[in-house]
Amino acid sequence: MYYDDHEPPHFHASYGGEEAMFDLKGNLIKGTLPKRALALIREWAMENQSLIVENWNLARDYQPLKWIKPLL
- Return the HEC string of 7-58: CCCEEEEEECCEEEEEECCCCEEEECCCHHHHHHHHHHHHHCHHHHHHHHHH
Please state, in angstroms and rounded to a whole number, the distance separating the CA atoms of residues 61 and 72.
Answer: 30
**What does the pLDDT look like over 50-71, one tens digit per residue?**
999 999 999 999 999 999 999 8
Q: What mean pLDDT value characterizes the chain?
A: 95
**CA-wise closest residue to 68 among 36, 38, 46, 39:** 46
Position 40 in a domain: yes
3-state DSSP assignment of residue 63: coil
Please state, in angstroms and rounded to a whole number, the distance separating the CA atoms of residues 48 and 68.
Answer: 7
Domain count, the chain: 1
Position 5 in a domain: no
Does residue 72 have a pLDDT over 90?
no
Q: Which domain holds residue 46?
A: 10-60
Q: Residue range 8-17: average pLDDT?
A: 94
